[in-house]
Structure 1
């Protein structure tokens, strides 16, 4: 009997020892599926396309990406995430992109938006950067409030404060509109409008028949340009901003984002969930949808005839 008890005790001790060895042994971490996030519950400020991938940025430094046309979204990994709200992003190709936001933060990705790291941050000056333009040649520009104007020559790895374009030393530069051949428009508050024909190296002040704020613009496939802003003001130019014609959209609402679809149609989105569209290259618009409290800040074409819109109520699909 005592021999049996002794054998049982030894077996129990060995089992406990084996369990301890297993518990503390090095072994591979379990593989979990990437966590999906509720993209309809975040305030999203901007959308962009990186190859076939869709990327979104917004409140509290969130960066989301989707590989299935916006059906499911995942949180990107961001190193040294300061939690600063992100305002805009830009990709130079399917892999390389930049995102900017409050506290002068700049994030950089080299894998199409799945992983990001911080390359600029200014905890002492919380004024936001409001837009960024990433060029295929490594040149990049970031602009923002109170005349903030930064340039990079190595794809956003390092940034320097540049000479501010004329007339925006104290103003807010809201958006950069990139066209072909290094042509860029810069728009902002109080009718601010500048153009550059050399990728942002030099700038020229333009006249616009409107002195209110402009929030964005589009370089259209036919060579024309659109700019849009407060209270429904939209203007179209066929000579790179030398002259402008006002465009009636049918709504006295502010517009914050726009896109030209693959079939040539133009869509603008804005305050109160407004969506307007043009079938003739931005010469005339008609109302697609209006109403609601949540404003829209960005729009992309998710698939032919289907939009992806984003704003205060997150990301949603919209059929045209």
Structure 2
């Protein structure tokens, strides 16, 4: 049984430093939840502030990050989107060139229908608590019915344990309803412009089948009785994967309707994953641990990364190389034979995502905002500015 909600700083502590988290409006002590509905403030320094994810949508680049900030670029200039929330945004995904979603702290999900120029809230933490409480109450009623229809002592013991856990979850929600929402979403996956999955802290798992007009809790589809954090969801076609805290790893091969628990190759937290051009599944996380599977997660091969830094995100490049980024400016290039070449960005910054442009340039996001490779800053400049983002 998990303890009641911990400070939000713990959730991303493995990715960001305490200094960075403090920039998110001091999320460990905040009691004013106007941040949910307050629009993102305009800034001329947004490219060098905390950005969490970046994606390519047609000819447009879009990045999301702290204080509800979203920036986009179609030609040569980055512009700031209009966003009706100022929470820390943790992920972004598009179903097509118009429809996209982003998730954030305080249970916020926002949507764009104009390719990322304007965004509006579809869900917040108050609504999330209502959804989850109703979901847990319905599960309790079903468990009580099962208890009344069985005399098997083993079954009764298991059902009673599940009832206790669900009642504990409801008590947590009741406390949160008084104190304010604190659950962050950590990632999402847009299967199409109607079907979207969102995951987050304490096993939170939601789905919409109508483009986000309504959301349903589907946490029970995963075998996660401890309520561990779900960090990343990724996929290709009907093959979807989720990884998270304590080595959690799940796979679905029917578009997210049913999920199997994978035999995880690592018991520490896993932060990222992607599928390469050959259909191999890559997962990675704490202390430089990285693994690859060529049988859809039924078995994994350890990748000797040669580093102990935390790894956050990765992609498959046009030439078949895998790029994985992490702390301390680390960029790993992994070839077809799983040989790793390590590069270090001169900023030495925490990096959380990476994309490859058509001209071969790489753009990363993280604690220092936008970063480039080939680097556009020297190590001396990075030390001097304490930014490293230009």
For the aligned pair, the TM-score class normalised by the smaller chain equals: 0.7 to 0.9
Post-superposition Cα deviations, 1:41-74, rounded to whole Å, max 9, x if no partner, equal: 2100011111110111100111111113xx5211
Structure-to-structure mapping, 1:188-203, within 5 angstroms: 188-203=244-259
CA RMSD in angstroms comes to 1.7
Partner of 2:368: 313
- Residue 202 of structure 2 aligns to a residue whose secondary structure is helix
- Stretches of structure 1 lacking an aligned partner (at least 5 in a row): 1-34
Partner of 1:74: 79
- Residue 67 of structure 2 aligns to a residue whose secondary structure is helix
Post-superposition Cα deviations, 1:10-43, rounded to whole Å, max 9, x if no partner, equal: xxxxxxxxxxxxxxxxxxxxxxxxx884343210
Q: Does 1:171 align with 2:171?
A: no
- Stretches of structure 2 lacking an aligned partner (at least 5 in a row): 1-41, 127-179, 376-390
- The structure carrying a bigger helix percent of its residues is 2
Deviation >6 Å, runs of 4+: none
Distance across 1 between alignment mates of 2:299 and 2:95: 29
Partner of 2:49: 42
Distance across 2 between alignment mates of 1:287 and 1:59: 28
Distance across 2 between alignment mates of 1:168 and 1:56: 34
Alpha-carbon contact 1:50-1:91 (below 8 Å) kept: yes
Q: TM-score, normalised by structure 1?
A: 0.83
Distance across 2 between alignment mates of 1:36 and 1:259: 30
Structure-to-structure mapping, 1:92-131, within 5 angstroms: 92-123=95-126, 124-131=180-187
Distance across 1 between alignment mates of 2:313 and 2:354: 6
Q: Larger C-alpha radius of gyration, 1 or 2?
A: 1
Post-superposition Cα deviations, 1:170-222, rounded to whole Å, max 9, x if no partner, equal: 1000000212x310110001010000111211110011221000001011110
- The structure carrying a bigger strand percent of its residues is 1
Q: TM-score, normalised by structure 2?
A: 0.69
- Pair 152,245 (structure 1): closer, same or farther in 2 beyond 3 Å: same
Deviation at 1:154, TM superposition (A): 1.1
Distance across 2 between alignment mates of 1:144 and 1:36: 28
Alpha-carbon contact 1:218-1:259 (below 8 Å) kept: yes
Deviation at 1:163, TM superposition (A): 3.6
